[in-house]
Structure 1
Amino acid sequence: MDPSSLFKRKRDLDELRNKRPKYDVFVNYASEDIGNGFASHLKGAFGREGFTICNHNELPKGEDRSSELLKAIEDSEIYLVVFSPKYASYKECLDEFVLIMETYPMFKKRKVFPIFFYVYPSDVRNQQGPFLEAFWGHEKDVDPERVQIWRKALKEAGDMSGLNLKDW
């Protein structure tokens, strides 16, 4: 990588750190699992309270999606991650989640808030329960390094304080 591009990226990050985020909330969830139910109600409730919400499902598909997704994550202040029974089945959710976990520490006031929706924090932390079967599948058809990155990020999230809705 060209050293001048590293300097530009550092300068861009410094500007981002001092800029007011475009979105109050970025919600990461498995839309096929809970998108028309819980996640939709959650986003609606935040919207009614005046929060700006990044609707990342409307980002472009294809090659530009990853750069647009990173920009949306960098432009958000609070990250709600809704772990549901089928969450770990979706590689896109896991990749998006890893971006969140890599990005939020660069900003002093950004927060990740996990919501454990019909899963336990230990299911996420240890990839057990509904996460176990999904990871068996991933280990067969996904690069092992990528799987380890997912596992590490999930362990970190499982150790965070959040909202447990398993027995809700």
Structure 2
Amino acid sequence: MALSVVASSSSSYSQISVTRQYDVFISFRGEDTRNSFTSHLHSALRRNQIETFIDYRIQKGGAIWNELVEAIRDSNLFLVIFSENYASSKWCLRELVEIMECKKKNENVIVIPVFYRIEPTHVRKQTGSYQKVFAEHQRSTDRKEVQQWRTALTEAANLSGFHCDYHRYLNVF
């Protein structure tokens, strides 16, 4: 997917084409949704020829974090699948911070939260299962990093997204 950016100077215009490798980056907690919601979502995106990054695309033997950051920076749209145990993963939280940083740096980046079997307010305010896990994070993780996670969760949960629970099903396609 190519994005065009027009830059102007006092005497001329120039066009810069930026190519992104992935249309969509999916951030999710594997143990919660990998073999259910996320795999179905990924399949639907692929059937519609939407180039999607999902963690099993990481090359074996590669540096996981470096590949994740590169994929995040090379994506246009982010689907963040918030689930009950999303916040228990430091990897997920670090991904989310990186995603929200990309959004701040580029107004064309789109972040869509999906609240899978969890109330958006639990994510936004870090209550319920998120409150419990953050009590643990505060004991074992740098205070500044924990604050970055909290801020990223709040910012992401304040974006317009989708809520999918036991009684209502998300129809993306």
TM tier, smaller: 0.7 to 0.9
Give distance in 1, aligned partners of 2:121 and 2:39: 25
Corresponding pairs, count:
152
Whether contact under 8 Å (1:125, 1:158) holds in the other structure is yes
- Runs of 5+ consecutive residues of structure 2 not aligned to the other structure: 1-15, 169-173
Structure 1 residue 55: Cα displacement? 2.4
Q: Which residue of 1 aligns with 2:160?
A: 161
Residue range with higher mean Cα deviation, 83-92 or 48-57: 48-57
Structure 1 residue 45: Cα displacement? 0.7
Give distance in 2, aligned partners of 1:125 and 1:30: 17
Give distance in 1, aligned partners of 2:54 and 2:92: 14
Whether contact under 8 Å (1:56, 1:72) holds in the other structure is no
- Runs of 5+ consecutive residues of structure 1 not aligned to the other structure: 1-16
2:123 partner amino acid: V
Whether contact under 8 Å (1:79, 1:100) holds in the other structure is yes
Computing the radius of gyration from Cα coordinates, the structure with the larger value is: 2
Q: Does 1:49 align with 2:73?
A: no
2:69 partner amino acid: L
2:86 partner amino acid: Y
Q: Deviations over 1:44-77 (max 9, x none)?
A: 1111111011123332578832222111011111
Whether contact under 8 Å (2:28, 2:92) holds in the other structure is yes
Q: Which residue of 2 aligns with 1:40?
A: 39
Whether contact under 8 Å (1:24, 1:77) holds in the other structure is yes
Superposition map of 1:69-108 within 5 A: 69-108=68-107
Q: Which residue of 2 aligns with 1:4?
A: none
Structure 1 residue 33: Cα displacement? 1.3
Q: Which residue of 2 aligns with 1:7?
A: none
Q: Which residue of 2 aligns with 1:130?
A: 129
Q: TM-score by structure 1 length?
A: 0.84
- Give the alignment's Cα RMSD to 1 decimal: 1.8
Percent of residue pairs bearing the same amino acid type: 38
Q: Which residue of 2 aligns with 1:5?
A: none
